[in-house]
Amino acid sequence: AQQRILPSVQQELIGTKDSVAAKNFYNGFIAALEKDFTKYTEEEAQQLFEQRVEAAKKAKVEAAISTGKQWLAENAKKPGVVTLPSGLQYKVITNGTGDKPAATDEVVVKYEGKLIDGTIFDSSYSRTPDISQFQVNRVIAGWTEAMQLMTPGSKWELYIPQNLAYGANQMGSIPPYSTLIFTVELIKVVKAKPEANTDASETKVAKPAKKATRPAAKKRK
C-alpha cells in the first residue's frame, strides 16, 4: 500500500503546504486495519483529506490565474505592446499589406508557442513543411481575434490570457490556466468560397470547412 497508494496521495498535494510523510501514512494505514479510530474515524479522515485536496486544487488555480494576470500587467507596460479590450495583447514585429482575413477564411502561418516561463510547447518551424493552415474561427479565441487584425506578410507576437486560450483544459504540455505567447507570421490568406446559390430544382450541400490542427481548438467543458 505504501508503494502503490502513497505516491498518488503525495501527487495530489504537490505545490501546496500539505504533504504526507511515509511514516504517518504507514501509521494511519495500520490504524485503519486495526479499526483504531482514536484520532479519526474513517469518514472523518476521508472528509479531511478531500477538503485539503480541494483547497489545494483551488489554490493552484488561483495562483496560475494570478501569475498570468501579473505577467500581462507588466508586459502591457513594455514598448510596442498593444492591449485590446478583450485582454489580448500583441506587438508588431513586421507589418504586411493586403486584405485581412475574415473569420471564415483560412490562413497559412508559421508560428512558435511558448509559456511565460519560456518553455516552447509547439513550433511549426520544427516541422517540414514549416507552415500550418487552418480556418480563423476554428482555433482558440486569442488567435481568432488576432488573425483578423493581421495582413499577409505580417509578423506579430501575441500574448494570450488563459481565458482566450485553453482555460481550465490541460493541452499536452500546456498546464491549465496558462497565459501563452505566440510568434506568428501570416504567410497568406485563403479566402472562403462563397456558398452556391440554390433554387427549387437543385440543392447543393456545402462541404464542411477544413478543421484546424494547430493551434488546437479549445476543448469544450
Select which of 65, 140, 174, 181 is catalytic.
140
Half-sphere exposure of 70 (CA within 13 A, CB side): 6
121 is catalytic: yes
Residue 208 burial (CB count, 10 A)? 6
- Neighbour-count burial of 190, counting CB atoms closer than 10 A to its CB (0-12 exposed, 13-18 middle, 19+ buried): middle
Of these residues, 18, 25, 121, 131, which one is catalytic? 121
Tell me which residue has cell 490570457. Answer: 161
Is residue 109 within 8 Å of residue 124, measured between CB atoms? yes
Annotation marks residue 159 as catalytic: no
Question: What letter would DSSP give residue 174?
Answer: B
Angle between helices 42-75 and 22-33 in degrees, nearest 10: 150
29 flagged as catalytic: no
Catalytic residue list contains 166: yes
Catalytic-labelled residue, pool 166, 174, 177, 181: 166
The three cell numbers of residue 170 are 490541460
- Residue 117 identity: D
- Candidates 111, 134, 159, 177; catalytic one: 111
Q: Please indicate whether residue 182 is annotated as part of the active site.
A: yes
If you search the block for the grid coordinates 472562403, which residue do you land on?
192
**Residue numbers annotated as active site:** 111, 121-122, 140, 166, 182
